[in-house]
Structure 1
């Protein structure tokens, strides 16, 4: 088992020698003779614990501790002050800055060993707990995302689509968002939220969804309701991904010129995620085989999307989509529908 690393900080060489002598057999000990050197060492390779003298010239121990706690890389490291100061006010100041303990000079070897061992044990337990929490949180996130994707696929199956449609179009949406200069956080959100774009079709009667003939006006109005039904199914929730999923479900059939549904929004009134998914959805729908149609060629599909720039689609996003279409085709080819 690898030895824990202790950083000893003291401006007096004799004090450093004493602590190295006490701890050297059980731990890997690093030393610093002033505050700036201690910060440099800790910032380069974080030790497991720091024994820090208070009274040092230039930058005292309190300032060193304060700076350690301000940096994410070193904020978690337990700091034990080693000092001749025994006033309650001094100890209070140290604890307020984030120190975990005090050892008074002259030091006692058994006390130093016991305090270091105790706080390293507590630190190890804390790190283990944090790792377990992160792992469990990640498991919950994966489960949540899988449920969202499968709900999206359920809607597609109901509409005689294949489940791979929502996988492909979510990849296209992420590619397009990235090409449009959106943040990586936004790109991941749209990738995970877009599979629910047509979840509202769960509430659309099969007789309408699967009607082989053209829908009459009343049937078409009922079909259009799936956007609002989808928003109702997702509901209002503070989670950023679910918020985005709701906006996508509600707006991905809106059109740039205001002729879309359900609200007749136009231009930038339509949320950017709705505009992105509109292109991704149409591209995949047209380039895929369906029971009622053959797949369009990429060239014909791009020609239609280009003609619809400024009418159905955001013209700037159309330009960005043409720049990433080769990547989109690779995604389509690697996520083919199963026979």
Structure 2
């Protein structure tokens, strides 16, 4: 236990140092110069400060005020030693942050138990603080474990839909990263960007509810089949909507809205403009770009230039203009993601 003793009288310092030394585990640090004592107290975390009231230059009241700017009352106890028995002095010392008082001349029978009691309180505070830190760390670890399990479940859910669809795992990686790129350059909060990166792969989870003869059909869909295929948006929403997870709730919104069009001609709810959730507008750009610029068993990949032309043609009609603009402004990063997450 580190104890700072500040008194301009060397004899008093020596006496208090000897008395403090009787306390088990106590290490006294004595200062005849109040300014030097203050500097040590501000640069360190003492377990107890014993300070004289009447000192030249920096008196005990000002000393306490300066210490309390660095060490709150509940953390570091301060014991003031004074020959002044006036109540006003004590009231002022208490208001500035003193915890207890000793009156000169020092009585060792009073000094020892007061120091002992204050150090015991300090030990209890440190123990409580350490326990709180340990508990906070355990909570952090448990929360991280829960988040990791949540992410694993989300990835597995997205892959379950992927196994029923002739798209690749690389597709959901690319479109998720494209989505995060767009969100970041739209100046969205970091939490939204990271959540979107996890939620975007769930955009087509509703395809789990689409019959194979429609989902895997290589030819053109009939009008009735097309209407059934469109249901994957509402099916995905119904699968995800009641989750307590913020990321899964975001996935539900994406599943429902990523086929809406900016001009109101999309599905399932024919929303338009800013009525379409931002996450749906973002994923629409990312998903379509990756779908047309990637090879599938039933089609060849479009050249990047042609895919860019499609986005420009659909700007303001199919796609949110802002999303298209930031996507194309960062096309070098898009191509880097495409190359890094290639299908092979």
- Sort the TM-score into its range (normalised by shorter chain): 0.7 to 0.9
Residues 1-339 of structure 1 correspond to what in structure 2 (within 5 A)? 18=16, 41=42, 47=45, 57=61, 64=68, 78-82=75-79, 105=102, 107-108=111-112, 109-237=115-243, 239-338=245-344
Cα gap change, 1:28 to 1:169, in 2 (>3 Å):
farther
| Unaligned stretches of 5+ residues in structure 1 | 70-74
- Report how many aligned residue pairs link the two structures: 312
Supply the distance in 2 between the matched residues of 1:287 and 1:224 (Cα, whole angstroms): 22
The residue number in structure 2 matching 1:72 is: none
Supply the distance in 1 between the matched residues of 2:246 and 2:48 (Cα, whole angstroms): 39
What CA RMSD, in Å, does the superposition of the two structures yield over aligned residues?
A: 4.2
- How far 1:175 moved relative to its partner? 0.7
C-alpha contact (below 8 Å) 1:52/1:82 kept by paired residues: yes
Cα gap change, 1:321 to 1:19, in 2 (>3 Å):
farther
Give per-residue Cα distances to partners, 1:53-76, cap 9 Å, x unaligned: 8x95359669937x867xxxxx9x
Supply the distance in 2 between the matched residues of 1:281 and 1:125 (Cα, whole angstroms): 48
SS in structure 2 at match of 1:57: helix
Give per-residue Cα distances to partners, 1:182-228, cap 9 Å, x unaligned: 22222112112212111111111111110111111111111111111
Supply the distance in 1 between the matched residues of 2:155 and 2:101 (Cα, whole angstroms): 59
Cα gap change, 1:192 to 1:30, in 2 (>3 Å):
farther
TM-score (norm 2): 0.75
Cα gap change, 1:164 to 1:24, in 2 (>3 Å):
farther
- How far 1:141 moved relative to its partner? 0.8
Cα gap change, 1:33 to 1:133, in 2 (>3 Å):
farther
- How far 1:242 moved relative to its partner? 2.9
- How far 1:303 moved relative to its partner? 1.1
Cα gap change, 1:146 to 1:112, in 2 (>3 Å):
same
Give per-residue Cα distances to partners, 1:148-206, cap 9 Å, x unaligned: 12211221221121122222111111111111222222211211221211111111111
Cα gap change, 1:11 to 1:185, in 2 (>3 Å):
farther
| Unaligned stretches of 5+ residues in structure 2 | 54-59, 103-109
C-alpha contact (below 8 Å) 2:81/2:101 kept by paired residues: yes
The residue number in structure 1 matching 2:57 is: none
Supply the distance in 2 between the matched residues of 1:16 and 1:198 (Cα, whole angstroms): 77
C-alpha contact (below 8 Å) 1:78/1:123 kept by paired residues: no
Supply the distance in 2 between the matched residues of 1:221 and 1:48 (Cα, whole angstroms): 74
Structure number, greater radius of gyration = 2
Give per-residue Cα distances to partners, 1:79-105, cap 9 Å, x unaligned: 4454579x9xx9xxx9xxxx9x96664
